[in-house]
Amino acid sequence: MPLTHTTLSSLFTDIADAIRAKTGKTAPIVADDFPDEIVRISSERKNDVTFYDYNGTQLYSYTA
């Protein structure tokens, strides 16, 4: 069953949490920024394959 929200605040909190879960960001997001953040989710996601060295240095990156 989908979540039901009794207040706009709880709805906005759940939307912001979902955006942060998809983007990996941790900063607060205000409702006015939801549309821009959601658009960025689909445009930023690529099928990149990245290889890193043992110390975290990026060695190679390919886009599938």
Model pTM score: 0.59
Give residue 58's pLDDT: 82
For residue range 39-58, list pLDDT tens digits in order.
888 655 566 777 888 788 88
Indicate the domain borders of the chain.
Answer: 8-63
DSSP sequence for 33-63:
GHHHHHHHHHHH---EEEEE-TTS-EEEEEE
Q: How do beta strands 48-52 and 58-63 pair? A: antiparallel
Q: Could you count the other beta carbons within 10 Å of the beta carbon of residue 31? A: 13
Collapsed DSSP state (helix, strand, coil) of residue 7: coil
Binned at pLDDT 50, 70 and 90, residue 1 comes out as very low
Binned at pLDDT 50, 70 and 90, residue 31 comes out as very high
Mean pLDDT of 23-39: 90
Q: How far apart are CA 10 and CA 17, in angstroms?
A: 10
